[in-house]
């Protein structure tokens, strides 16, 4: 069976301790930006959830039912802008989808990243490439970064190639071309990343890059569904204590931001 539970703002819902969702974090989630009566990149979010649900033998509700639940949620809550969430969980009696929202996550004012090689991603993991509720590692590393005053950490894969941050996909501009780590590093296939890859005006190149490829880059930016596209000012932690500074403006970066803004609007779903 599969049903939908709407959790109103400020309320909660019980989950049995014996359920796989509670006991083992057996679930998938999507975090979506809602503004101007639209959900941005809805098709990408829904497709990713359904693909992972099939992989893990979870049963999502019908798309129309989920959209109706989201519409009811934002309407009854009186939300104009929100970070909406879907959690598809395995419970004792089957799959259940939860509809709710979360407040913004505080972040430092700086846009400084730190290269971290001690906790590599393993592309061979059964969870690699899926947005699961097993997110403790990423949140722990993000907390460590914030404790040090950094915005986030740049992670590598088990072979030492650039992967992603704990919360975003990574891009860099070098010699007039946009580059991003490929999915075979075990990174999450972010919806904003996918949109930029589809944009014919940008011609993003996927590849396997050593961290030193970031040295000499004209610009670095990270992407996720809630923050959008965020230029990075500095990355520290290269071999020998080296660091690198990057431009956060300029014509080429502004053209990337404009292309993203266009894709964001074109890939939105009218909700109310």
**41 falls within a domain:** yes
Last residue of a domain, one of 102, 122, 141: 102
Q: 């809630």: which residue's tokens?
A: 226
- Cα 51 from Cα 59, distance rounded (Å): 11
- CA angle at 29 for the pair 149 and 157, rounded to the nearest 5°: 55
Structural domain containing residue 184: 112-266
Tell me which residue of 187, 184, 233 sits closest to 208, measured CA to CA: 184
Per-residue confidence band for 2, with pLDDT thresholds at 50, 70 and 90 = low
Per-residue confidence band for 1, with pLDDT thresholds at 50, 70 and 90 = very low
Give yes or no: residues 240 and 145 share one domain: yes
- Is pLDDT above 70 for 135? yes
Last residue of a domain, one of 102, 127, 160: 102
Per-residue confidence (pLDDT) for residue 162, from 0 to 100? 98
Tell me how many domains the chain contains.
2
- Cα 153 from Cα 268, distance rounded (Å): 29
Give yes or no: residues 59 and 173 share one domain: no
Give yes or no: residues 95 and 119 share one domain: no
- Cα 43 from Cα 237, distance rounded (Å): 37
What secondary structure letter does DSSP report for 185? Answer: G
Per-residue confidence (pLDDT) for residue 241, from 0 to 100? 87
Q: Decide: helix, strand or coil at residue 46.
A: helix
Last residue of a domain, one of 76, 102, 128: 102
- Tell me the pLDDT tens digit for each residue of 136-152: 999 999 999 999 999 99
Tell me which residue of 253, 216, 258 sits closest to 238, measured CA to CA: 216
Give yes or no: residues 57 and 185 share one domain: no
- Cα 158 from Cα 248, distance rounded (Å): 30
Sign of CA dihedral 103, 105, 111, 115: negative
Tell me which residue of 111, 226, 237, 221 sits closest to 169, measured CA to CA: 221
**92 falls within a domain:** yes
Q: What share of the chain is helix, strand, coil (3-state, %, to 5)?
A: 30, 35, 35
Give yes or no: residues 144 and 257 share one domain: yes
- Tell me the pLDDT tens digit for each residue of 89-116: 999 888 999 999 999 888 888 999 999 9
pTM: 0.95
């Amino acid at each position: 069976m599969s049903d939908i539970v709407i959790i109103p703002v400020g309320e909660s819902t019980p989950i049995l301790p014996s359920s796989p969702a509670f006991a083992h974090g057996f679930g998938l989630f999507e975090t979506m930006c809602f503004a101007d009566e639209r959900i941005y990149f809805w098709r990408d979010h829904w497709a990713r959830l359904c693909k992972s649900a099939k992989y893990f033998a979870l049963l999502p509700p019908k798309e129309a039912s989920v959209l109706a639940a989201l519409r009811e949620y934002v309407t009854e809550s009186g939300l104009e802008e929100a970070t909406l969430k879907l959690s598809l969980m395995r419970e004792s009696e089957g799959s259940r989808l939860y509809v709710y929202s979360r407040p913004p996550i505080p972040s430092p004012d700086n846009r400084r990243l730190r290269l971290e090689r001690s906790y590599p991603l393993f592309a061979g993991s059964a969870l690699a490439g899926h947005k699961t509720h097993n997110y403790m590692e990423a949140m722990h590393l993000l907390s460590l970064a914030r404790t040090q005053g950094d915005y986030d950490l740049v992670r590598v894969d088990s072979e030492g190639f650039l992967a992603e941050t704990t919360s975003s996909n990574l891009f860099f501009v070098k010699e007039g071309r946009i580059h991003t780590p490929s999915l075979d590093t075990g990174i999450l296939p972010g919806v904003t990343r996918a949109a930029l890859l589809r944009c014919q005006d940008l011609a993003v190149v996927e590849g396997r890059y050593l961290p030193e490829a970031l040295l000499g880059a004209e610009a670095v930016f990270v992407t996720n569904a809630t923050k959008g596209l965020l230029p990075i000012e500095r990355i520290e932690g290269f071999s020998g204590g080296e660091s690198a500074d990057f431009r956060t403006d300029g014509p080429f970066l502004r053209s990337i931001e404009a292309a993203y803004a266009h894709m964001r609007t074109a890939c939105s779903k009218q909700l109310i």
